[in-house]
Structure 1
Amino acid sequence: MTGPRDIHAYLAEFEDIPGTRVFTAARARQGYHMNQFAMSLMKAENRERFKADEAAYMAEWPLTDEQKQALLDRDYNRCLDLGGNVYFLSKLFSTDGLPFAKAVATMTDMDFDQYTQMMMQGGRSPEGVRSIKEGR
C-alpha cells in the first residue's frame, strides 16, 4: 500500500496534456464569474442587452481584463485557459448563432470540414505528443 498522494502534484499533471484544459476546481474558481456571465445569456433579455453593447454588459460582471478581451475576441481557447468551461461558453456560441461543433472547430488547427471529417472518423488520434514537458 502506498502513502497519500499530494493532490496538488496530481492536479498539476493535468497541465501537461497538450491541447487539453482539464476543468479542475482551480479553473472553476478562476472562471466562476466568466461562466456565470455566459449562463446569464440563457435569458433572452440578457442576450439582447449583450448584443446591443457587449462591453457594457460585461462591465456588469467582475471579469478580469483578460477574460473580457478573450470573450470579446471569441478566443475560446484563451477563455478555457482563464477558467471558462466549454459547456457554459456554449451559451455565447448560441448567442452568436454558432453551432457547438463549429465553435469547437475554431479551437483546433482545422477548418470546420476537416474537424467534421476527423470526428466522423472517430476523433483525434491518440498518437502524437502526450506530454508537454517530456515532448513525447
Structure 2
Amino acid sequence: MTPQTRDYHDIPGTYVFDGTHQRMGYGLNMFCKSLDIADQRDAFRADPQGCLARYPMTQAQREAVLQRDWLALLRLGGNIYYTFKLAIFDGLSMQHVGAAMSATPTTVEDFRRMMVGGGRAVAGLRSRQQNREAAHG
C-alpha cells in the first residue's frame, strides 16, 4: 500500500499521526501503552528484547525503542502520547524528550529557554519544497 501524499507531509520535522501512521505503529504504541502496568514495566526492565518480541513491531521500531530514538519512534508510527510513556519509564520529562528531538543538539535548559521565549523561529521550517527551491535558487 502506497501512502497518500498529504499537504502536511511537506512540513519539515512534522510526523502527523494519521491513519497510515496509526497502522504502521500499532504494535509499537501497544508496547508503549503496556508500560502503564507495573508487571509490564518490570518485565521490560528485566528483559527489554524479550519483552519487545511479544509485540508485532518491525526491527527498526524495536531498535528505536532500545536506543530511545524519539524522532525515529515518531517516524515509525509512534504516537507522541504513547511514546512519552517510554520517556516516563526512563524518568524523563517532556523537556528532555523535546531537547533530544531538536534539529540541532541542545540541552534541556536551552530547550526550556527557547520554549519560554516563544519557540523556534519559523524561517526555513515551513516547507520542504521551499527549502529545496531556496537551496537550488
TM over 0.5: yes
Task: Provide TM-score, normalisation by structure 1.
Answer: 0.88
Deviation at 1:40, TM superposition (A): 0.3
Deviation of 1:127 (Å): 2.5
What does residue 80 of structure 1 align with?
74
C-alpha distance in structure 2 between counterparts of 1:52 and 1:104, whole Å:
27
Task: Supply the AA of the counterpart residue of 1:123.
Answer: G
RMSD of aligned residue pairs (Cα, Å): 1.3
1: CA distance, partners of 2:129 / 2:20: 21
**Corresponding residue for residue 24 of structure 2:** 30
Instruction: Say whether residues 1:104 and 2:72 are aligned partners.
Output: no
> CA offset at residue 42 of structure 1?
0.4
Instruction: Tell me the distance in 2 between the aligned counterparts of 1:80 and 1:111.
Output: 21
Aligned to 1:18: 12
Distance 1:35 1:60 in 2: 13
Could you tell me how far apart the structure 2 residues matched to 1:100 and 1:51 are? 21
Structure 1: stretches of 5+ with no match in the other structure = 1-7
Q: Matches of residues 1-136 of structure 1 in structure 2 within 5 Å?
A: 8-9=4-5, 11=6, 13-108=7-102, 109=104, 110-135=106-131
Once the 2 structures are TM-superposed, how far is the Cα of residue 16 of structure 1 from its aligned partner? 1.1
Count of aligned positions: 127
Equivalent position of 1:5 in the other structure? none
1:48-88 residue CA offsets vs partner (Å, 9 max, x unmatched): 11011100100011110010011111001011110001110
Letter in 1 for 2:58: T
